[in-house]
Amino acid sequence: MSAERIAAAVLGSGSWGTTFAAVLADAGCEVRLWGRDAEVADQVNASRRNEKRLPGIDLPAGIRATTDAAEALAGAGLVVVAVPSQVAGETLTELRRAVAPDAVAVSLMKGVELSTDRRMSEVVAESLGLAPERVAVVSGPNLAREIAHRQPTATVVSCADDDVARYVARACSSSYFRPYTNRDVVGVELCGAVKNVIALAVGIAQGRGFGYNTTATVITRGLVEITRLGLALGADAETFPGLAGMGDLVATCSSPLSRNHTLGKHIGQGLSLDDAIAATGGTAEGVKSCRSVLELARKVGVDMPITAGVVAVLHEGMPVDEMARGLLSRPQKAEGVSAER
């Protein structure tokens, strides 16, 4: 990959897209940020702020925002995708002609596509017409607002092609953002998708007033669910105790900055799903992806009781207390990932 200054287009001007645009700019990239909200684009360009998504945060000077996707993508060697996962396919297909055939794409999205069970890197590759080895995934303990404040963190850049992974890592490496690389795209993406579901479960438990023992139990058993699903789909076992697995899971399940955790807490306090979404200020990724994750698990014969409980509470009307009773009354068994399920 060339050592020249990298021209990057970031698709999606939400909190994570805007934050990652700032990371890239701080790392020395020339960055164009695309979104549909003209007010956001004008504000980024005029005052280096995105008050709607990152209030109070000053953005670096190296970001140019636009509502014109062709303008954002023109000459971009790096295309970063940070749009809502369930509309990614439709959005990217519309932009396919504007993406250079030799571009590298990066998925920041965390989810599994409903009805197709495709991982987000697969959606990106197919929608943009890129070879899978030209698509990388960035995932880890990366809460947007903390990174926007330039608090130190690390992440994983995963790609089947080591050179592409290193190229993306170089593009986003800075004094506060440290990327590590690996090849386990399947494992990294599944960690990112399922941890949102587990964070909903932790939030639900805390909303009911349960304490740290319950939180630790849900996080630990949630990691078992993530690991079992990943191994069944060919992932590397080393991914799950790492940054993309346990690291991201702990951050998402512990922080009030996590929308999934916050929305789950509202559910645990007795709000309906619609009211919880309103109280959170919008939906959370796990609300939609929990059903596709469960569907995928059932296809490959992996039992995911916490995930199933979240689906039942959010989408099937199960009372929260019934979910708790159901999980605790399951047959006793050995603890490990490889134990009989």
Coil, strand or helix: which one is 137? strand
Token duo for residue 114 = 């409903």
Closest CA to 299 of 109, 115, 120: 115
Instruction: Cite the beta strand spans of 175-321 per DSSP E.
Output: 177-182
Residue 195 falls in the annotated catalytic set: yes
SS3 205: helix
Of 226, 196, 210, 227, the residue nearest 314 (C-alpha): 196
| Cα angle: 24, vertex 9, 261; to 5 degrees | 65
Distant-in-sequence, close-in-space partners of 106: CB < 8 Å, separation ≥ 6: 78, 79, 80, 81, 135, 136, 137, 138, 157, 168
Distance of alpha carbon 165 from alpha carbon 132, whole angstroms = 12
Q: Which of 110, 195, 265, 288 is catalytic?
A: 195
First to last CA, the chain: 45
DSSP H/E element including 30: strand 30-34
Residue positions annotated with a catalytic role: 195
